[in-house]
Amino acid sequence: MFRINLIKITAIFLLIPQLVFGAFQEGEKIILDEKGNPIPFALVKVDGQKPLSVDENGQVDSPPKGDRVVVFALGYETQQLSWEEWLASEKIILHEKSGNLQEVVVAATRTERSVEDLPMPVTVLNTEKIQETGGMRLSEILREQTGLQIASDHGAGLQMQGLDSDYILILLDGEPLIGRTAGTFDLDRISVSNIDRIEILRGPSSALYGSEAMAGVVNIITKNNSGQHKADFALRHRSFNSWNPSLELGTGGEKWDANVFLDHFQTEGFDLTPETIGQTQNPYKATTAQVKINGKLAPKWDLSLFARGYSETSDGLMQTGGAANPELLELDNTRRDLNLNPTLRFKPNEKWLFTLRGMSSWFSTNSNTQFQSSGEVFDLQDFQQFYHRTELQTDYQIKPNQLLTLGLGQLIETVEATRYDDLNRFDAGYFFLQHQWDPGQRVNVVSGLRADFHSQYGNRLSPKVSGQYKISEKLVWQASVGAGFKAPDFRQLLLNFNNAASGYYVFGATVAQEGIARLQEQGLVAQILLDPSTLGDLRAETSWAFNTGFRWKASERANLQVNAFRNAIDNLIETAPIAQLNTGQNAFSYFNVRSVITQGVEVDASFQVLENLSLSAGYAFLDTRDLDVVDRIENGEVFKRNSQNQTRRVTLEDYGGLFNRSRHSGNFKINYQELNTGIDWALRAIYRGKFGFADRNGNLILDDESEYADGWVSVNLTASKSLSNGIFFEAGGTNLLNTATPAQPNNPGRVLFLGIKIPVLNLIN
């Protein structure tokens, strides 16, 4: 059977050139890539005349006579030919561009612009890059990127430029996602099966997006239907009995198209500590349903609607009560997320574009913990969050080289939860202004300013300026400087929490004085450590950041990109005890105390060795410092005990910076297409250097070798193949060396996977 199919496939490949060129008319040309495949919708331009479009088969009629013919297509090197060369050629071969400079990015400027023209550090992961990881959830894609780290803290959180998940804004099709636990957005809530590309914008973006964009932005772009009829079914399986079926349906016509996506993920979880009761990751099931509708209301009016629902359930066991009187607890948790985003666009002429966006999100969690023996409730927690934003964006093309963008918006956010008193609400308004200017062929400048007006933390201005200079056709330098901020969240302002098992309390800054007074009335306070009346209102955390670097295209096959950065952050919100209780436990609250520096450099290099073999490597160096700790060390105020139990002062050489940050990290990747079978191989080695894990000597800083977790290397391999009928196969594994990382509970060890995607309509037709 396999031999017969192989003969059929070979015969089809042999017939393709005959079918293509047999229908080729005199005077027509065909535009092909290096593998002989037609390049649809390329452009052919002669001198200053209007360009001709290539059809879906790569064919184009000969243009009017001229001196020079230019052929260009997105993602390919531009080809220039004399008129004589054009006439003498039946086939025009375009070479694929190395790197992703032609990728179109929306997140960086809120307008479509190619990476090549952006004066700021941006990475775009297209469908091929996403597929080569074999990942099923978003965290598994991002962990392989230079300078990004996945931290196990209330879910799979992201670090960027040394800053935690709290400071990174996650967008889905340009709209923010809500629902964080202790500041962490859990990336495992996002399925990757329907992702078209991921835009990663490094550096503060508060000038466009406001709070939570202090470190950068990750914009997840899901697939559009583009007017096609399709029905794609996919099934993926991996270790720990994890299954991921998904279905994508699409339909459309001249004016409207729609895309429906259904995804289900379930796993039995894993356990890194079998000697204790309970798993490291409990079994859970997650379902995602998504609808995208795009259409034309009239020649100048477009309407789009995005709706997404997410539901997750998990269960497990936990032991409490200590060794003398152990009790088993049953855990039952749910998470739900609903997003509804309508968008209306009006383009009266080529100079003006008006975009009205609405965005409503509902996020909820419910945690029910019961004694297994009696069914009595041990702990019950409920959380409900609502977020609504209305925004009008106006884009005005002042001149061909100048684009002005003005945005006005209003948002409402509410939280009602077991750990909060009453229903709490934030109201805010904002406007932003951005100017994109290309004063010459070598220079690009983007400047912007945003003003936020918030009911809780007051007003905030966030400016940013970015510039790019093309030193030559191969070397481009870019730099940006901007301010970022992060507003205090509901937890830091309004939390009222008592851990019944451990006996400690946590109060938000605005309710701390009332909470401590209540505990004093009950006779529970042994000592006041910090007068809660002196805490005052929390201020927004602020930063100034500088990014600079260059892109160097050493040859048609080699690229180098370097970005150096420095973030200076003030008023970081710290958690610390404000009162000691009679039980020996503490009551905690939040206040602004810290100033932090994160700085470093990120390097990415790629080289196309052969047409079917490419290499790439990335390296990130990171230096982080708490300036308050540095001052205390310089003043001789910090001590530790050495191996002989002798007390000595901590020196700056001892200080390791912020916890859970690796000074060195990197990756090395080999992509190879085996020509005989057409199988694509992607071999990756991901490295993370040692990082501070725990304060073992009690002085609250990272200053001893025993406080570091070991570095590790994960070797990952993916093999994939697309058949001529559109069926796609994948197989592979991550962490093939089974490297153990005890300090990172999100690493289950070696994981193997298989997958298939079937275009059902293609097979029927």
Cα separation values, 17 from 20, 21, 23, Å: 5, 6, 10
Amino acid at residue number 172: L
Contacts (Cβ under 8 Å, ≥6 apart) of 375: none
Longest dimension (CA), the chain: 97
Helix H, strand E, coil C: the string for 179-198 is: CCECCECCHHHCECCCEEEE
Q: What are the sequence ranges of the domains in the chain?
A: 23-93, 104-218, 219-318+327-764
Helix H, strand E, coil C: the string for 301-358 is: EEEEEEEEEEEEEEEEEEEECCCCCCEEEEEEEEEEEEEEEEEEEECCCCCEEEEEEE
Give the number of other Cβ atoms within 10 Å of residue 175's Cβ: 22
What is residue 56's predicted lDDT score, i.e. its pLDDT? 65
Residues making up the chain, counted from first to last = 765
What is residue 137's predicted lDDT score, i.e. its pLDDT? 93
CB 395 within 8 A of CB 353: yes
What would the two tokens of residue 695 be? 């304060």
Q: Which residues pair with 359 in a beta bridge?
A: 389
The three-class DSSP label of residue 207 is helix
What is residue 76's predicted lDDT score, i.e. its pLDDT? 67
What would the two tokens of residue 261 be? 């996506």
Q: Which of 624, 426, 649, 434 is nearest to 538 (CA)?
A: 426
Question: What's the rounded Cα separation, in Å, for the pair 573 and 20?
Answer: 65
Q: How many Cα atoms are found within 13 Å in the side-chain-facing hemisphere of 754?
A: 3
- Domain 104-218, CATH among 3.40.50.2020, 2.170.130.10, 3.30.750.24, 3.30.450.20: 2.170.130.10
* CATH architecture for the domain at 219-318+327-764: Beta Barrel (2.40)
Instruction: Provide the whole-model pTM.
Output: 0.84
Angle at the Cα of 622 from the Cα atoms of 618 and 628, rounded to 5 degrees: 170
What would the two tokens of residue 440 be? 């010459």
Q: Which of 698, 491, 695, 498 is nearest to 583 (CA)?
A: 498
CA 276 to chain centre: 34
Question: What's the rounded Cα separation, in Å, for the pair 252 and 588?
Answer: 56
Contacts (Cβ under 8 Å, ≥6 apart) of 521: none
> Please, what's the b/e burial string for 235-248 (b: 16 or more CB within 10 A of its CB; e: otherwise)?
ebebbeebebebbb
What is residue 288's predicted lDDT score, i.e. its pLDDT? 97
Which segments within 553-636 are labelled E, that is strand? 558-581, 586-610, 613-626
Q: For tokens 């970081």, what's the residue?
A: 572
10-residue stretch averages of pLDDT, the chain, 765 residues long: 43 39 52 77 71 74 76 70 81 69 74 82 91 92 94 85 92 91 87 92 91 92 82 95 95 89 94 83 94 92 96 87 74 94 94 95 92 85 93 93 94 90 89 93 93 87 95 94 90 78 77 88 86 78 94 93 96 83 82 89 96 95 94 90 79 91 96 92 96 84 90 96 90 94 85 94 72
What is residue 19's predicted lDDT score, i.e. its pLDDT? 38
Q: How many Cα atoms are found within 13 Å in the side-chain-facing hemisphere of 54?
A: 24
Q: For tokens 């008006």, what's the residue?
A: 354
Q: Which of 217, 218, 215 is nearest to 483 (CA)?
A: 215
Q: Which of 405, 443, 463, 410 is nearest to 111 (CA)?
A: 405
CATH superfamily of 23-93: Carboxypeptidase-like, regulatory domain (2.60.40.1120)
Question: What's the rounded Cα separation, in Å, for the pair 45 and 60?
Answer: 11
Provide the sign of the torsion angle of the four alpha carbons 436, 481, 185, 496, taken in this order.
negative
The three-class DSSP label of residue 469 is strand
What would the two tokens of residue 612 be? 């079917």
CB 316 within 8 A of CB 291: no
What is residue 397's predicted lDDT score, i.e. its pLDDT? 92
CA 234 to chain centre: 23
What is residue 129's predicted lDDT score, i.e. its pLDDT? 92
Q: Which of 259, 206, 212, 254 is nearest to 232 (CA)?
A: 259
Strands 122-125 and 113-114, sheet pairing: unpaired
Question: What's the rounded Cα separation, in Å, for the pair 608 and 589?
Answer: 54
> Please, what's the b/e burial string for 32-44 (b: 16 or more CB within 10 A of its CB; e: otherwise)?
bbeeeebbeebbb
Angle at the Cα of 104 from the Cα atoms of 300 and 122, rounded to 5 degrees: 135
Provide the sign of the torsion angle of the four alpha carbons 290, 104, 149, 670, taken in this order.
positive
Cα separation values, 294 from 256, 260, 333, 345, 509, Å: 6, 12, 36, 11, 45
Question: What's the rounded Cα separation, in Å, for the pair 11 and 381?
Answer: 64
What is residue 183's predicted lDDT score, i.e. its pLDDT? 81
Amino acid at residue number 38: P
CB 765 within 8 A of CB 743: no
